[in-house]
Chains A and B, each alone.
Chain A
């Protein structure tokens, strides 16, 4: 029993550490990738160097990291913690403090059902590389993503600022509109896989990945999920640069938590898209006993190597999607509010309905 607990705690720490690391590094990726896309160099002035002579080997290691500007993430964090934590007059102290916590906690909680590997046989035990093997994992993910709306609307509501309230309402309406599309789009995958369990969905993609069987659902889900993360092109709720968003009255690390939520959600969406449409931890031609290529060649691999390959493949896919989302974020301009609602309700929603109906008809016909 205690060992079970330890194993689960270890898995939770692993996925949580990875999610937060990815989110932290995304601040750096965001700066650098946008810079490279725009023929710039990007932030590279935050550096750590030691003056004393016998620490020079450390300096030698830090050198390339300094040149890459990776410590800007650290500088950001220090800045966030050192800034004044401002509370506007008349604000609800409790809710104002609670809102960013709600945002970030629910975004992180959704990682609990993301499977990042197959069942691992180790020391006579079966370790399912998934923190919680819920048989209704999809419902859990959507529940957590919907609860994230509370953080947003509470932030707008508790700030005692009309503009923050309007921003919060914009955010809530956007997230609710796109959640419907997101849920319906995934129904196609669920119908194909015949299960709500995320591990089961990944298993069902061993022959053909989800984006091949459900191309429309992939596009719809990705668009809706990007809208969920509230980043450009769907960043109307925040409008960092010009429109006032729901976190106007936030500063310091409370603002930092909202900022982190966006990035955690980006990682989460990357994980979900990988799980639903890109075969999760599946590696092409890799079966539990090794590679079986269609031209007849076969490479036998030990069980642990297969598992490690699977986990690596999962995180590689997540990294690729994070790259894609960053590229989208730095390519597209922001939608107008009416365009956003039109896209959500007049294009994505009917398309996802049609996709669900057609998929169910096909699934029933196939028996």
Chain B
């Protein structure tokens, strides 16, 4: 096996005084400082709104822009008459790796459609947001595009969504 010997670089005189490195570091940080201060000052007078003085998003007041394909909280889509599009085929329940979907099917009164869900329960506490349920759905009945990210509850029960909540996010 070929061995590659890496020669350790000896520190020169200036390296050992630390001065050039310190100067370079100060130059970089001061550049950031003065650039950001200038941008903040311009913002104060209403100029240069397209520049950002800081990378921070002040979260609860200011939401970070989300990508179009970000997977967020689920919703069930509706037909024109307001009934769920879901036909209770159990595809999503089957594919779900976290087993967080639980569907109980019943007969659909419409003769053209076979089934519909009697209940559609989704446990967000278990969901891994993989999006398989959306991909697998043949009826485009479940989507993950509500843009709701701040999901929190005081109990495990609170994390469970029933069909009502899924239909009206």
Contact A330 B56 (CB under 8 A): no
Q: Which residues in A have their C-beta under 8 angstroms from that of B40? A: 36
Contact A37 B56 (CB under 8 A): no
A37-B18 in contact given A331-B25, A331-B26, A332-B25 (Cβ < 8 Å) = no
Q: Which residue of B is nearest A219, CB measured? A: B19
- In the assembled complex, B30 has its CB within 8 A of some CB on chain A: yes
Among A36, A41, A328, A332, which residue has its beta carbon within 8 angstroms of that of B33?
A36
Q: Chain B interface residue count: which class?
A: 20 to 34
Contact A327 B22 (CB under 8 A): no
Smallest CB separation, A37 vs chain B (Å): 5
Contact A332 B54 (CB under 8 A): no
Contact B32 A37 (CB under 8 A): yes
Smallest CB separation, A65 vs chain B (Å): 15
A39-B54 in contact given A33-B33, A327-B33, A347-B16 (Cβ < 8 Å) = yes
User: Which B64-117 residues have a C-beta within 8 angstroms of A?
Assistant: none
Contact A327 B29 (CB under 8 A): yes
Q: Which residues in B have their C-beta under 8 angstroms from that of A331? A: 22, 25-26, 28-29
Q: Which residues in A have their C-beta under 8 angstroms from that of B58? A: 41
Contact B32 A328 (CB under 8 A): no
Interface residues of B (CB under 8 A from A): 16-19, 22, 25-26, 28-30, 32-33, 36-37, 40, 53-56, 58
Contact A39 B30 (CB under 8 A): no
Contact B33 A37 (CB under 8 A): yes
User: Which A93-123 residues have a C-beta within 8 angstroms of B?
Assistant: none
Contact A347 B25 (CB under 8 A): no
- In the assembled complex, A56 has its CB within 8 A of some CB on chain B: no
Smallest CB separation, B20 vs chain A (Å): 13
Q: Which residues in A have their C-beta under 8 angstroms from that of B33? A: 33, 36-37, 327
Among A36, A39, A41, A332, which residue has its beta carbon within 8 angstroms of that of B22?
A332
